[in-house]
Structure 1
Amino acid sequence: MSRVFVISDHHFGHQKIIDFESRPFQNAEEMDEYMIKQWNTVVSREDKVFHLGDFSFYNKEKTRAIVERLHGNKFLILGNHDRGRSKAWWLDAGFNEVSEYPIVFQSFFILSHEPMYMNKHMPYVNIHGHIHSQKYEGQHYFNASVELWDYKPVSFEEIKSSLVANEEQ
Protein backbone atom coordinates (compact mmCIF):
# COMPACT_ATOMS: atom_id res chain seq x y z
CA MET A 1 0.00 0.00 0.00
CA SER A 2 1.42 3.38 -0.94
CA ARG A 3 1.96 6.13 1.60
CA VAL A 4 2.14 9.93 1.39
CA PHE A 5 5.10 11.99 2.60
CA VAL A 6 6.14 15.65 2.76
CA ILE A 7 9.56 17.31 2.89
CA SER A 8 10.99 20.72 2.12
CA ASP A 9 14.15 22.72 1.50
CA HIS A 10 16.74 20.23 0.34
CA HIS A 11 18.71 22.91 -1.52
CA PHE A 12 20.56 20.24 -3.52
CA GLY A 13 23.86 21.67 -4.78
CA HIS A 14 23.73 24.75 -2.53
CA GLN A 15 27.12 24.94 -0.83
CA LYS A 16 26.26 28.03 1.25
CA ILE A 17 23.22 26.41 2.92
CA ILE A 18 25.68 24.22 4.85
CA ASP A 19 26.90 27.31 6.73
CA PHE A 20 23.56 29.15 6.77
CA GLU A 21 21.82 26.24 8.51
CA SER A 22 24.80 24.58 10.23
CA ARG A 23 24.30 21.41 8.22
CA PRO A 24 26.85 18.72 9.21
CA PHE A 25 28.51 18.29 5.80
CA GLN A 26 31.90 19.17 4.32
CA ASN A 27 30.51 20.07 0.90
CA ALA A 28 27.40 20.01 -1.30
CA GLU A 29 28.25 16.62 -2.85
CA GLU A 30 28.41 14.93 0.57
CA MET A 31 25.17 16.66 1.58
CA ASP A 32 23.41 15.60 -1.64
CA GLU A 33 24.39 11.94 -1.27
CA TYR A 34 23.27 11.84 2.37
CA MET A 35 19.91 13.44 1.56
CA ILE A 36 19.26 11.01 -1.32
CA LYS A 37 20.10 8.06 0.95
CA GLN A 38 17.83 9.38 3.73
CA TRP A 39 14.92 9.92 1.31
CA ASN A 40 15.21 6.38 -0.07
CA THR A 41 15.34 4.79 3.39
CA VAL A 42 11.71 5.77 4.04
CA VAL A 43 10.08 6.24 0.62
CA SER A 44 9.20 3.28 -1.62
CA ARG A 45 8.76 3.46 -5.37
CA GLU A 46 4.93 3.46 -5.01
CA ASP A 47 4.74 6.26 -2.42
CA LYS A 48 3.86 9.89 -3.11
CA VAL A 49 6.06 12.73 -1.87
CA PHE A 50 5.03 16.36 -1.75
CA HIS A 51 8.18 18.47 -1.90
CA LEU A 52 7.36 21.89 -0.49
CA GLY A 53 9.97 23.81 -2.41
CA ASP A 54 13.59 24.88 -2.68
CA PHE A 55 14.63 21.59 -4.20
CA SER A 56 17.78 22.17 -6.29
CA PHE A 57 20.32 24.81 -7.23
CA TYR A 58 21.72 22.64 -10.06
CA ASN A 59 21.06 22.88 -13.79
CA LYS A 60 18.32 20.72 -15.30
CA GLU A 61 20.60 17.79 -16.16
CA LYS A 62 22.01 17.46 -12.61
CA THR A 63 18.59 18.09 -11.06
CA ARG A 64 17.03 15.37 -13.24
CA ALA A 65 19.79 12.93 -12.21
CA ILE A 66 18.87 13.51 -8.54
CA VAL A 67 15.09 13.31 -9.11
CA GLU A 68 15.57 10.00 -10.95
CA ARG A 69 17.45 8.54 -7.96
CA LEU A 70 14.71 9.44 -5.48
CA HIS A 71 11.97 6.88 -4.85
CA GLY A 72 8.28 7.69 -5.20
CA ASN A 73 6.00 9.89 -7.27
CA LYS A 74 7.18 13.42 -6.71
CA PHE A 75 4.93 16.51 -6.53
CA LEU A 76 6.73 19.86 -6.27
CA ILE A 77 5.16 23.00 -4.81
CA LEU A 78 7.48 25.76 -5.97
CA GLY A 79 9.53 27.56 -3.33
CA ASN A 80 11.13 30.98 -3.54
CA HIS A 81 14.36 29.51 -4.95
CA ASP A 82 12.46 27.39 -7.53
CA ARG A 83 10.43 30.20 -9.09
CA GLY A 84 13.13 31.37 -11.47
CA ARG A 85 12.38 28.24 -13.48
CA SER A 86 9.11 27.43 -15.20
CA LYS A 87 6.66 24.70 -14.28
CA ALA A 88 7.66 22.98 -17.55
CA TRP A 89 11.34 23.09 -16.51
CA TRP A 90 10.56 21.20 -13.29
CA LEU A 91 8.35 18.66 -15.07
CA ASP A 92 11.15 18.09 -17.57
CA ALA A 93 13.55 17.68 -14.61
CA GLY A 94 11.48 14.66 -13.55
CA PHE A 95 8.73 15.77 -11.18
CA ASN A 96 5.40 14.02 -11.75
CA GLU A 97 3.39 17.14 -10.86
CA VAL A 98 4.24 20.78 -10.14
CA SER A 99 2.18 23.55 -8.55
CA GLU A 100 3.05 27.23 -8.48
CA TYR A 101 0.67 27.76 -5.56
CA PRO A 102 -0.21 26.15 -2.22
CA ILE A 103 -2.63 23.24 -2.38
CA VAL A 104 -5.24 21.82 -0.02
CA PHE A 105 -4.69 18.12 0.67
CA GLN A 106 -7.36 15.84 2.19
CA SER A 107 -9.60 18.90 2.75
CA PHE A 108 -7.60 19.78 5.88
CA PHE A 109 -3.90 20.30 5.18
CA ILE A 110 -2.64 23.39 3.37
CA LEU A 111 0.67 22.50 1.74
CA SER A 112 2.83 25.54 0.99
CA HIS A 113 6.44 26.58 0.81
CA GLU A 114 6.23 29.60 3.11
CA PRO A 115 4.16 29.44 6.30
CA MET A 116 0.72 30.96 5.75
CA TYR A 117 -1.28 33.06 8.18
CA MET A 118 -3.56 30.78 10.18
CA ASN A 119 -5.77 32.24 12.91
CA LYS A 120 -6.86 30.13 15.87
CA HIS A 121 -10.37 29.70 14.47
CA MET A 122 -9.21 28.03 11.25
CA PRO A 123 -9.67 24.26 11.26
CA TYR A 124 -6.69 23.69 8.94
CA VAL A 125 -3.05 22.75 9.46
CA ASN A 126 -0.41 24.44 7.33
CA ILE A 127 2.40 22.07 6.41
CA HIS A 128 5.25 24.21 5.14
CA GLY A 129 8.99 24.68 4.85
CA HIS A 130 11.03 27.81 4.14
CA ILE A 131 12.00 28.62 7.73
CA HIS A 132 14.40 25.65 7.99
CA SER A 133 15.27 24.89 11.63
CA GLN A 134 12.88 27.45 13.11
CA LYS A 135 9.41 26.46 14.30
CA TYR A 136 6.11 28.25 14.59
CA GLU A 137 4.22 27.61 17.79
CA GLY A 138 0.71 26.22 17.78
CA GLN A 139 -1.34 23.40 16.38
CA HIS A 140 -1.90 25.05 13.01
CA TYR A 141 1.68 24.67 11.71
CA PHE A 142 3.94 21.78 10.82
CA ASN A 143 7.44 22.56 9.54
CA ALA A 144 8.63 19.89 7.08
CA SER A 145 12.10 21.40 6.46
CA VAL A 146 14.83 18.76 6.13
CA GLU A 147 16.85 20.03 9.10
CA LEU A 148 14.08 19.03 11.52
CA TRP A 149 13.60 15.49 10.15
CA ASP A 150 17.14 14.17 9.62
CA TYR A 151 16.71 14.89 5.88
CA LYS A 152 13.95 12.25 5.56
CA PRO A 153 10.46 12.84 4.18
CA VAL A 154 7.82 12.73 6.93
CA SER A 155 4.79 10.48 6.52
CA PHE A 156 1.28 11.84 6.93
CA GLU A 157 0.72 9.22 9.63
CA GLU A 158 3.59 10.73 11.63
CA ILE A 159 2.28 14.26 11.06
CA LYS A 160 -1.24 13.31 12.19
CA SER A 161 0.15 11.57 15.28
CA SER A 162 2.24 14.59 16.24
CA LEU A 163 -0.76 16.90 15.83
CA VAL A 164 -2.91 14.69 18.08
CA ALA A 165 -0.09 14.55 20.66
CA ASN A 166 0.21 18.35 20.64
CA GLU A 167 -3.55 18.71 21.03
CA GLU A 168 -3.57 16.45 24.11
CA GLN A 169 -0.86 18.45 25.90
Structure 2
Amino acid sequence: MEFFTSDTHFFHKDLLGNSDFAPRPFADVDEMNQTIIDNWNARVAPTDTVYHLGDIALYFTKPAVKSDEAVCDVLSQLNGHLELIKGNHDSRALFKYLAAHNPIDHGQPKFAFHDVGVLIKYDHRQYYMTHYPMMLGIVKQIINLHGHIHHYAVPVKENINVGVDTPEQQYLDRPLPFGTPFSTSEIEQMVVGKAQEFRDKQ
Protein backbone atom coordinates (compact mmCIF):
# COMPACT_ATOMS: atom_id res chain seq x y z
CA MET A 1 0.00 0.00 0.00
CA GLU A 2 0.97 3.63 -0.45
CA PHE A 3 0.81 6.35 2.19
CA PHE A 4 1.56 10.07 2.34
CA THR A 5 2.86 12.50 4.97
CA SER A 6 4.96 15.60 5.43
CA ASP A 7 6.54 17.92 8.00
CA THR A 8 7.27 15.44 10.76
CA HIS A 9 9.95 17.86 12.04
CA PHE A 10 11.54 15.25 14.27
CA PHE A 11 13.60 16.82 17.10
CA HIS A 12 12.23 20.33 16.42
CA LYS A 13 11.77 21.60 19.98
CA ASP A 14 10.68 25.11 18.95
CA LEU A 15 7.43 23.66 17.56
CA LEU A 16 6.38 22.17 20.89
CA GLY A 17 3.21 23.59 22.48
CA ASN A 18 -0.07 24.93 21.18
CA SER A 19 0.05 27.40 18.33
CA ASP A 20 -1.97 28.31 15.27
CA PHE A 21 0.97 27.39 13.04
CA ALA A 22 1.88 23.89 14.23
CA PRO A 23 -0.01 22.66 17.30
CA ARG A 24 2.18 20.04 19.01
CA PRO A 25 1.21 19.67 22.67
CA PHE A 26 4.04 17.38 23.74
CA ALA A 27 6.23 17.64 26.83
CA ASP A 28 9.46 17.22 24.85
CA VAL A 29 10.79 16.11 21.47
CA ASP A 30 11.29 12.56 22.68
CA GLU A 31 7.57 12.26 23.35
CA MET A 32 6.75 13.86 19.98
CA ASN A 33 9.18 11.63 18.10
CA GLN A 34 7.92 8.46 19.78
CA THR A 35 4.27 9.41 19.19
CA ILE A 36 4.92 9.79 15.46
CA ILE A 37 6.87 6.51 15.34
CA ASP A 38 4.17 4.60 17.20
CA ASN A 39 1.25 5.98 15.19
CA TRP A 40 3.13 5.52 11.91
CA ASN A 41 3.97 1.89 12.65
CA ALA A 42 0.44 1.14 13.83
CA ARG A 43 -0.71 1.78 10.26
CA VAL A 44 2.22 1.19 7.89
CA ALA A 45 3.49 -2.33 7.20
CA PRO A 46 7.18 -3.03 6.51
CA THR A 47 6.43 -3.68 2.82
CA ASP A 48 4.37 -0.48 2.28
CA THR A 49 5.64 2.72 0.64
CA VAL A 50 5.40 6.10 2.33
CA TYR A 51 5.91 9.33 0.40
CA HIS A 52 7.36 11.88 2.83
CA LEU A 53 6.97 15.32 1.32
CA GLY A 54 9.75 17.08 3.16
CA ASP A 55 10.92 18.65 6.41
CA ILE A 56 11.86 15.36 7.98
CA ALA A 57 13.62 16.85 11.01
CA LEU A 58 15.16 20.00 12.41
CA TYR A 59 18.10 19.21 14.65
CA PHE A 60 21.52 20.83 14.95
CA THR A 61 24.51 19.38 16.80
CA LYS A 62 28.27 19.78 16.90
CA PRO A 63 29.60 17.86 15.11
CA ALA A 64 26.72 17.98 12.62
CA VAL A 65 27.04 14.28 11.84
CA LYS A 66 25.58 13.51 15.28
CA SER A 67 22.24 14.99 14.24
CA ASP A 68 22.32 13.06 10.97
CA GLU A 69 22.94 9.86 12.95
CA ALA A 70 20.01 10.64 15.28
CA VAL A 71 17.62 11.38 12.40
CA CYS A 72 18.72 8.21 10.60
CA ASP A 73 18.07 6.22 13.78
CA VAL A 74 14.50 7.59 14.01
CA LEU A 75 13.78 6.96 10.32
CA SER A 76 15.11 3.43 10.62
CA GLN A 77 12.43 2.75 13.25
CA LEU A 78 9.63 3.65 10.81
CA ASN A 79 7.96 0.86 8.88
CA GLY A 80 7.96 0.91 5.10
CA HIS A 81 10.01 2.10 2.18
CA LEU A 82 10.44 5.89 2.39
CA GLU A 83 10.33 8.07 -0.72
CA LEU A 84 11.89 11.28 0.60
CA ILE A 85 11.10 14.55 -1.19
CA LYS A 86 13.45 17.34 -0.08
CA GLY A 87 11.92 20.09 2.06
CA ASN A 88 13.37 23.49 2.89
CA HIS A 89 14.68 22.15 6.23
CA ASP A 90 16.23 18.98 4.74
CA SER A 91 19.93 19.44 4.14
CA ARG A 92 21.88 17.76 1.37
CA ALA A 93 24.26 16.56 4.08
CA LEU A 94 21.40 14.63 5.70
CA PHE A 95 20.37 13.07 2.39
CA LYS A 96 23.98 12.11 1.70
CA TYR A 97 24.25 10.52 5.13
CA LEU A 98 21.02 8.57 4.65
CA ALA A 99 22.17 7.45 1.19
CA ALA A 100 25.44 6.20 2.69
CA HIS A 101 23.58 4.35 5.49
CA ASN A 102 20.69 3.01 3.43
CA PRO A 103 19.78 -0.53 4.55
CA ILE A 104 18.15 -3.09 2.31
CA ASP A 105 14.67 -3.61 3.72
CA HIS A 106 12.47 -6.38 2.30
CA GLY A 107 14.52 -6.52 -0.89
CA GLN A 108 14.92 -2.81 -1.61
CA PRO A 109 16.73 0.20 -0.15
CA LYS A 110 14.93 1.76 2.80
CA PHE A 111 15.25 5.30 1.40
CA ALA A 112 14.83 6.87 -2.03
CA PHE A 113 15.52 10.55 -2.66
CA HIS A 114 13.87 13.28 -4.77
CA ASP A 115 15.01 16.90 -5.02
CA VAL A 116 11.75 18.47 -6.21
CA GLY A 117 8.78 16.16 -6.54
CA VAL A 118 7.20 12.91 -7.65
CA LEU A 119 4.23 12.23 -9.95
CA ILE A 120 2.15 9.08 -9.55
CA LYS A 121 -1.14 7.93 -11.03
CA TYR A 122 -4.02 6.68 -8.94
CA ASP A 123 -7.53 5.75 -10.09
CA HIS A 124 -7.80 8.10 -13.10
CA ARG A 125 -6.09 10.86 -11.15
CA GLN A 126 -2.52 12.12 -10.90
CA TYR A 127 -0.87 13.18 -7.67
CA TYR A 128 1.98 15.63 -8.07
CA MET A 129 3.83 15.52 -4.76
CA THR A 130 6.01 18.45 -3.71
CA HIS A 131 7.08 20.05 -0.47
CA TYR A 132 5.86 23.54 -1.33
CA PRO A 133 2.29 24.07 -2.54
CA MET A 134 2.27 24.46 -6.34
CA MET A 135 -0.08 26.66 -8.32
CA LEU A 136 -0.83 24.39 -11.27
CA GLY A 137 -3.38 26.60 -13.04
CA ILE A 138 -6.34 25.04 -14.80
CA VAL A 139 -5.68 21.30 -14.86
CA LYS A 140 -7.74 18.16 -15.14
CA GLN A 141 -7.34 15.27 -12.72
CA ILE A 142 -4.05 16.57 -11.26
CA ILE A 143 -3.89 17.08 -7.51
CA ASN A 144 -0.92 18.71 -5.79
CA LEU A 145 -0.14 16.92 -2.54
CA HIS A 146 2.15 19.10 -0.47
CA GLY A 147 3.32 20.08 2.99
CA HIS A 148 5.25 23.13 4.27
CA ILE A 149 2.36 25.26 5.56
CA HIS A 150 1.55 23.15 8.64
CA HIS A 151 -1.88 24.06 10.11
CA TYR A 152 -2.96 26.07 7.08
CA ALA A 153 -4.64 25.16 3.80
CA VAL A 154 -4.24 26.62 0.32
CA PRO A 155 -7.59 28.09 -0.83
CA VAL A 156 -7.42 26.07 -4.05
CA LYS A 157 -9.35 22.81 -4.35
CA GLU A 158 -6.57 21.04 -6.27
CA ASN A 159 -4.07 21.53 -3.42
CA ILE A 160 -4.13 19.09 -0.50
CA ASN A 161 -1.93 19.52 2.56
CA VAL A 162 -0.79 16.08 3.77
CA GLY A 163 1.42 17.28 6.62
CA VAL A 164 1.08 15.90 10.14
CA ASP A 165 -0.43 19.26 11.22
CA THR A 166 -2.86 19.62 8.30
CA PRO A 167 -6.28 21.14 9.00
CA GLU A 168 -7.61 19.24 5.97
CA GLN A 169 -8.21 16.19 8.13
CA GLN A 170 -11.62 17.87 8.55
CA TYR A 171 -12.64 16.16 5.31
CA LEU A 172 -12.04 12.68 6.74
CA ASP A 173 -14.68 10.54 8.42
CA ARG A 174 -12.56 10.63 11.56
CA PRO A 175 -9.28 12.35 12.50
CA LEU A 176 -6.16 10.22 12.64
CA PRO A 177 -3.73 10.03 15.55
CA PHE A 178 -0.90 12.56 15.24
CA GLY A 179 1.79 11.53 12.78
CA THR A 180 -0.25 8.80 11.07
CA PRO A 181 0.44 8.80 7.30
CA PHE A 182 -2.62 9.15 5.08
CA SER A 183 -3.78 6.30 2.84
CA THR A 184 -4.79 6.78 -0.79
CA SER A 185 -8.46 6.40 0.21
CA GLU A 186 -8.07 9.15 2.80
CA ILE A 187 -6.38 11.40 0.26
CA GLU A 188 -9.39 10.83 -1.99
CA GLN A 189 -11.72 11.78 0.87
CA MET A 190 -9.78 15.02 1.24
CA VAL A 191 -9.90 15.72 -2.50
CA VAL A 192 -13.64 15.05 -2.75
CA GLY A 193 -14.45 16.89 0.48
CA LYS A 194 -12.49 20.00 -0.45
CA ALA A 195 -13.99 20.08 -3.95
CA GLN A 196 -17.49 19.80 -2.46
CA GLU A 197 -16.77 22.65 -0.05
CA PHE A 198 -15.73 24.83 -2.97
CA ARG A 199 -18.90 23.95 -4.89
CA ASP A 200 -21.03 24.75 -1.83
CA LYS A 201 -19.46 28.22 -1.62
CA GLN A 202 -20.29 29.11 -5.23
Q: Could you tell me whether the CA contact under 8 Å between 2:160 and 2:190 is conserved in 1?
A: no
Q: Which residue of 1 aligns with 2:186?
A: 158
1:49-100 Cα deviation digits (max 9, x unpaired) = 0000110234121112111110000110000000352642232354520011
CA separation in 2, counterparts of 1:89 and 1:4?
25
1:88-138 Cα deviation digits (max 9, x unpaired) = 22323545200111121117111000101122x212110000000101123
Q: Which residue of 2 aligns with 1:64?
A: 72
After TM superposition, the score normalised by the length of structure 1 is 0.89
- Residue of 141, 144, 155 corresponding to 1:137: 155
Q: Which residue of 1 aligns with 2:14?
A: 16
1:9-55 Cα deviation digits (max 9, x unpaired) = 01101100114623110111111111111111111111100000110
CA separation in 2, counterparts of 1:30 and 1:93?
25
Alignment pair present for 1:35 and 2:36: yes
Identify if the C-alpha distance between structure 1 residues 117 and 13 changes in structure 2 by more than 3 Å, giving closer, same or farther: same
Identify if the C-alpha distance between structure 1 residues 129 and 93 changes in structure 2 by more than 3 Å, giving closer, same or farther: farther
Structure possessing the higher radius of gyration over alpha carbons: 2
> Gaps (5+ residues) in structure 1?
none
Cα RMSD between the aligned structures?
Answer: 1.9
After TM superposition, the score normalised by the length of structure 2 is 0.75
Count of residue pairs brought into register by the alignment: 166
Q: Could you tell me whether the CA contact under 8 Å between 1:47 and 1:73 is conserved in 2?
A: yes
CA separation in 1, counterparts of 2:95 and 2:79?
21
> Gaps (5+ residues) in structure 2?
60-66, 103-109, 167-175, 198-202
CA separation in 1, counterparts of 2:139 and 2:16?
36
CA separation in 2, counterparts of 1:167 and 1:22?
26
Alignment pair present for 1:98 and 2:113: yes
Percent identity at matched positions?
A: 28
The one-letter amino acid of 2:4's match is V
